[in-house]
Structures are given as C-alpha cells and as structure tokens.
C-alpha cells in the first residue's frame, strides 16, 4: 500500500464544508443570474440608449474616470508617505485615511456637504469667490474620490511594504537622487498594485450612490449618475433599471477580471535564494 502525502484538495475536506461553500457561492451568483434572466434582451439596446440612460452612463464614466485620476494623483503620495516614513500619529492618520472605507456613504456625503457646501467649512469661502461645489458635477467627482481613495492607498501601501526598501537603497548608492529612485525604481516595482488599486477605485467610484445623492443631488445630465438613474427608474420603468443594472454588473465582472490578472510579475517577487539548477552560471 502506498502512503504518500497528497495535497489537501476538496475531496479531503469534510463534505459539509463543501456543501456550505456551495450554498455561499450560490448566494452570490444566483442574484446575478436572476437579473440576467429578467433583462428584456430584445429591447436592451434602446433601453440603455434612451436619453436619460445615455446621459447617466456618460456622466458616470466621465466622473468616475476623473475621480480615479484624483485618487492616483493624491493616493500615490499618501501611500508613499504611509509606507516609507514614520512619524508620530502615523497609525492614527492611516486609520483616518481608511475611514471612508467603513463609513456609510450617506454620512460621507453629509460630511462633504458640511465641508464644501454653501455654508460649509471651506464652502463659505469658496462661495465668496463665486465657486459653488455642492450639487454640481464637481460634487459628484468629490463624492466618488472620497469613497474610492482608500482602495488605492491601501493596495499601494501594502505593495510598497512588500517590495521593501532594498532596491531603493541600491539605487541611492548608485548615485540616483530621490526623484530618480521614485521614478525609475519604486513606482515601476509597484506598478501592478497601482493599476489594480486604480481599477478598484474606478469600480468603487462607478458604484457610488449614497454620498453622491447627499452631496450632489440627482440632476439629469449634471449629477445623476448610473446608480442614481437605476434607483429612479426602478419605480417608473423597471425594464430600464434592470438593463442599466446589468451594464454595471458587466463592468464589475470586467474589473474583478483585471484586478485578478494584474499580479506582480513572477520576477518582481521578493528575491529568494536561487535554486541549485538556476545557480549554475
């Protein structure tokens, strides 16, 4: 009789564990299937290209892309500071930066309103300068960036810590300045994490509902993004709501696919002792 260590596969798990896992997976997959079954396929194209739907779709894409750009612009320096420096209160700062991740979006929207609203902390001064933010497209972008920023910071900071500072130290001893080290070593090394972080941020921005509604309102063509449009159409035209929802599902599937695909390349993994075969020059 042969006794050899086989890898632990599903067959070796207690059957009830597999059964519970199947139930859990169905819980996630079934609603998507249910929605796909409910889509009015013959009218799908007209439904998603109606004037209000097209306006919402375009607005969502525009604002989400802008918000993602803002997340990259501010998130990369934030992740660098959190990962590469140490100062008093850094842990507290990290927790605060991640706050939008756990905050109910409506609360976030309210907070933004009391910051940038007409009578808000900064809004009153901006208002005096003739700049109105609340209930404009800018407010949509700010709402989306607010909730999406932690995704980018979190994923990038983790990657920076994993890569470590050894390559940067080598770069510095070779005569590279701080900017050169950042541009030619640090950022290329964490590029996969930056891309997947940006994709996640984009997805979060695209799905943003609560903060947008609170801070930006729901004005067709100006602040009514796709999720808001879905919510409104649900009452008056359920077929349109389902069709638009299905577009969001497709985007979500694409995002998950990309985020999974963008992994650190094999040769970007932390260096390990060379195998005996590979060590032979």
Partner 1 sequence: MSLTFTATLAERGFDVAFELAPGETLAVLGPNGAGKSTLLTLLAGLLAPSMGRAELDGTVLFDVGADRRTLVEPRHRGVSLLAQEALLFPHLTALENVAFGPRSRGVDRTAARATALSWLDRVGAADLAGRRPGRLSGGQAQRVAIARALAADPSLLLLDEPLSALDVTVAPAIRTLLRDVLVDRSAIIVTHDPLDAFLLADSVLILDGGRVVESGATAVVLTRPVTSFGAHLAGLNLVTGLRTAEGFRSEEGWVLPLADTAPEGTSLALAVRPGRVTVSRSAVTAPGTACIAAEVDDVEHRGDLVRLHAGGMAADVAPSDVVALGIVPGSRMFLGFRHEDASIYPL
Which residues contact partner 1 by CB under 8 A? 166-167, 169-177, 180, 184-185, 188-189, 191, 265-268, 271, 273-274, 276, 278-281
Closest to partner 1 by CB, 44 or 167: 167
Closest to partner 1 by CB, 42 or 266: 266
Q: CA-CA-CA-CA torsion for 59, 61, 67, 69, nearest 10 degrees? A: -130
Provide the minimum distance between the beta carbon of 279 and partner 1 in the complex, in angstroms, as a whole number.
3
In 3D, which of 261, 253, 256 has the Cα closest to residue 35?
A: 253
Closest to partner 1 by CB, 22 or 170: 170
| Contacting residues for 255 by C-beta, under 8 A, at least 6 apart | 199, 200, 202, 203
C-beta neighbour count of 128 within 10 angstroms: 8
Provide the minimum distance between the beta carbon of 178 and partner 1 in the complex, in angstroms, as a whole number.
9
Provide the minimum distance between the beta carbon of 187 and partner 1 in the complex, in angstroms, as a whole number.
10
- Cβ 90 vs Cβ 80: under 8 Å: no
| DSSP 3-state of 40 | coil
User: How far is it, in rounded angstroms, from Cα 220 to Cα 56?
Assistant: 7
Closest to partner 1 by CB, 190 or 226: 190
Closest to partner 1 by CB, 49 or 180: 180
Provide the minimum distance between the beta carbon of 268 and partner 1 in the complex, in angstroms, as a whole number.
5
Provide the minimum distance between the beta carbon of 191 and partner 1 in the complex, in angstroms, as a whole number.
8
């Amino acid at each position: 009789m042969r006794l050899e260590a086989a890898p632990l596969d599903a067959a070796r798990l207690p059957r009830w564990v597999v059964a519970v896992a199947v139930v859990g997976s169905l819980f996630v997959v079934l609603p998507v299937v249910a929605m796909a079954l409910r889509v009015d396929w013959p009218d799908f194209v007209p439904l998603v290209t109606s004037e209000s739907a097209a306006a919402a779709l375009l607005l969502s894409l525009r604002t989400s892309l802008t918000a993602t750009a803002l997340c990259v612009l501010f998130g990369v320096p934030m992740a660098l500071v959190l990962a590469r420096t140490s100062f008093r209160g850094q842990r507290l700062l990290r927790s605060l930066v991640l706050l939008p991740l756990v905050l109910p979006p409506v609360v976030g929207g309210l907070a933004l309103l009391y910051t940038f609203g007409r009578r808000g902390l900064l809004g009153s001064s901006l208002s005096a300068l003739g700049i109105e933010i609340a209930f404009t497209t800018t407010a949509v972008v700010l709402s989306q960036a607010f909730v999406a920023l932690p995704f980018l910071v979190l994923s990038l900071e983790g990657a920076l810590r994993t890569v470590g500072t050894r390559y940067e130290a080598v770069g510095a001893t070779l005569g590279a300045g701080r900017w050169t080290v950042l541009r030619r070593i640090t950022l290329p090394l964490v590029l996969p994490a930056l891309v997947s972080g940006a994709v996640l941020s984009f997805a979060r921005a695209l799905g943003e509902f609560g903060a947008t509604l609170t801070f930006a309102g729901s004005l067709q063509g100006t602040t009514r993004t796709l999720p808001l449009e879905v919510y409104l159409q649900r009452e008056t035209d359920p077929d349109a709501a389902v069709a638009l929802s299905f577009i969001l599902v497709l985007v979500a599937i694409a995002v998950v696919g990309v985020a999974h695909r963008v992994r650190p390349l094999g040769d970007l993994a932390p260096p390990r002792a060379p195998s005996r075969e590979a060590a032979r020059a």
